Amino acid sequence: MAVQGAPRFLLTFDFDETIVNENSDDSIVRAAPGHGCRESLRATYREGFYNEYMQRVFKYLGEQGVRPRDLRAVYEAIPLSPGMGDLLQFVAKQGACFEVILVSDANTFIVESALRATGHLGLFRRILSNLSGPDARGLLALQPFHTHSCARCPSNMCKHKVLSDYLSERAQDGVHFERLFYVGDGANDFCPMGLLASSDVAFPRRGYPMHRLIQEAQKAEPSSIRATVVPWETAHDVRLHLQQVLEAC
């Protein structure tokens, strides 16, 4: 049975280079001694295992005396993407029309610190990201979000699975969304596109990996992306389209 008064639309955001205008994992070098990490540490990175690499980075920072409060100060200073503050305020004013979630391969400490500082944390019903927080020593520790079998995605997170699981969970609650909206930029934001139907909208940041992968997929097989694709340069582009959707309802 559907829940009376349930939100009509699900609006999903990525975080890095979508809500904020930087890659937050790269931003933490500002908290490191000398504003950088050792070359030997950077050399341990392997494609597809970025989460494991960041676990080593946080361990290194802790050994150098960097504490969670130092990292929080960095995260709180990361700027929002152009127009993003206005977009989030617009969505908040729509009341229960939108259910808003965030799916990010960053981590909960970063995301919550940044959103709390800008006053937008309360907009999000759920933050779906790699779990992080101070450990028993008071140092920031990072865990993978889940395991999965998707060959395309990093070992710690497949956003297709994250979003699919969330939709199943909400369906069990009796909540069925009329339309899905997905705002992102990265290569890992491409995998969830398979969940979007023809009535849904994908908002890839123009010129970023998600946009290029969508273009490549459409060129190879025009029907492979069922959703309407609306590239954005600033979040004002997203707001304008959402306004048009609401006016047409």
Calpha distance 202→200 (Å, rounded): 7
Q: Does residue 4 form part of some domain?
A: no
Q: Does residue 91 form part of some domain?
A: yes
Q: How far is CA 53 from CA 67, 116, 137, 244, in A?
A: 18, 26, 20, 42
- CATH number of the structural domain spanning residue 29: 3.40.50.1000
Q: Annotated binding residue at 14?
A: yes
Instruction: Give the residue numbers spanning the domain of 54.
Output: 9-248
Q: Does residue 72 form part of some domain?
A: yes
Q: Annotated binding residue at 135?
A: no
Residue 67 CB neighbour total at 10 angstroms: 14
pLDDT one digit per residue (tens) for the chain, 249 residues: 556 567 899 999 999 999 999 998 778 777 777 656 667 777 887 877 777 888 888 888 888 888 888 889 989 999 999 999 999 999 999 988 999 999 999 999 999 999 999 999 999 999 999 998 888 787 788 888 998 999 889 888 999 999 999 999 999 999 999 999 999 999 999 999 999 999 999 999 999 999 999 999 999 998 999 999 999 999 999 999 999 999 876
Calpha distance 138→117 (Å, rounded): 22
Nearest to 243, CA basis, from 27, 47, 90, 25: 90
Q: Does residue 3 form part of some domain?
A: no
Tell me which residues are annotated as active site: 14, 16
DSSP class of residue 177? -
Nearest to 137, CA basis, from 74, 58, 37: 58
Task: Give the chain's domain count.
Answer: 1
Q: Does residue 2 form part of some domain?
A: no
Backbone angles phi, psi at 5, to 5 degrees: 80, 10
Q: Does residue 83 form part of some domain?
A: yes
Q: Annotated binding residue at 185?
A: yes
DSSP class of residue 208? S
